[in-house]
Amino acid sequence: MTSEPGKQNLLIFGTTGYIGTHITNQIIKNKASFGRIAIFTSPSTVENKPSVVANLKSEGVEVIVGDATNENDILKAFQGINTIISAVGRNAILSQITWIQLADTSPNSTVTRFFPSEFGTDIEYGPSSATEKPHQLKLKVRATLRAAKRLEHTFLVTGPYAEAVLRPGSFDVKAKKAALTGDGQGKISLTTKDDVGRLTVHALLHPAASKNRALRVNSFTATEAEILAEFERQTGGEKWTVERTSFEKLRELEKEAWESGNPAATGYTLRRIWVEGGTLYEVRDNALIGGEETESLSDAVGVAVKSQLAE
């Protein structure tokens, strides 16, 4: 794909990952609004996911193959690029610091805008956010971007992905069983994975509104009790069996998981943040970027029901 005057040239990291797939798909759906669309991926991804790579190329996406830890490969990929979107997983988040520094200080870099791997819980929601263990790597990335001299940044804060909350472990369609926290009345802000992609596109196309700020966006806000009621409605109206975990028990499980090195520790912490209200704001930023049209609770539950019954 060749660049077009006046249009952003994009480079995406983490394209084939959990959320990167959805971001890339939505960018492709709006490819007429952009110039070059390129992805940076590893040789192993090209080898192991040939059909995915072939589909991207068929859509006009430029596939750049290299080592994300090799500065020469990164600088070469940056050539002619204006905007970087990173959707890498937790293990690669620190690599973003190197990419940011290279984009900001290399004399031949054309990169002027960076979207780091946020797309989740707000890591600066309040004073206690700075001490939350899952936030530490992303806080380092934010600090690096704020210290950059040439780069603009946008932190897209979406709250938890709806699909992660509506999963079988919490809402089991086949068993008609739900696991709620406390009385289930705590509100949680949720964003579907497709809406994460759509809202990323909206932010890309509204650079003035998203310049050097955290955009707090979502699809919908609901309590666990409201989510359960929607599952019951869409599965015939029968009441589900409910198991409840108290807030005290959740904190106990979280503490034990971190102390024992249990990989589930991050999940416990994030769940506790969500049900404590750590995703709620008086005002959402969807309207600032033209992203008011989003999927609803009914839409998200419908997808979850269909998916679980198909498994």
Instruction: Report the b/e string of 50-77 with b at 16+ CB within 10 A.
Output: eebbeebeeeebbebbeebeeeeebeeb
Catalytic amino acids? Answer: 138
Q: Which amino acid is at 25?
A: N
Cα–Cα distance measured from residue 103 to residue 109, given in angstroms and rounded to the nearest whole number: 6
Pull the structure tokens for residue 67. Answer: 């080592």
Burial class (CB in 10 A: 0-12, 13-18, 19+), 306: exposed
Around Cβ 233, how many Cβ atoms within 10 Å?
Answer: 11
Instruction: Report the b/e string of 163-192 with b at 16+ CB within 10 A.
Output: bbbbeeebbbbeeeebbbbbebebebbbbb
Beta-bridged to residue 28, according to DSSP, are none
Per-residue pLDDT of the chain (311 residues; tens, 9 = 90+): 455 557 999 999 999 999 999 999 999 999 999 999 999 999 999 999 999 999 999 999 999 999 999 999 999 999 999 999 999 988 899 999 999 999 999 999 999 999 999 999 999 999 999 999 999 999 999 999 999 999 999 999 999 999 999 999 999 999 999 999 999 999 999 999 999 999 999 999 999 999 999 999 999 999 999 999 999 999 999 999 999 999 999 999 999 999 999 999 999 999 999 999 999 998 999 999 999 999 999 999 999 999 999 98
Cα–Cα distance measured from residue 50 to residue 45, given in angstroms and rounded to the nearest whole number: 8
pTM of the model: 0.94
Q: DSSP characters for 207-238?
A: HHHHTTEEEE--SEEEEHHHHHHHHHHHTTSP
Structural domains of the chain sorted by starting position, each given as residue range(s) with its CATH number in brackets: 10-159+192-218+282-289 (3.40.50.720), 162-188+220-280+296-310 (3.90.25.10)
Q: Which amino acid is at 285?
A: D
Non-local CB neighbours of 283 within 8 Å, separated by 6+ positions: none
3-state class percentages of the chain: helix first, strand second, coil last, to nearest 5: 45, 15, 35
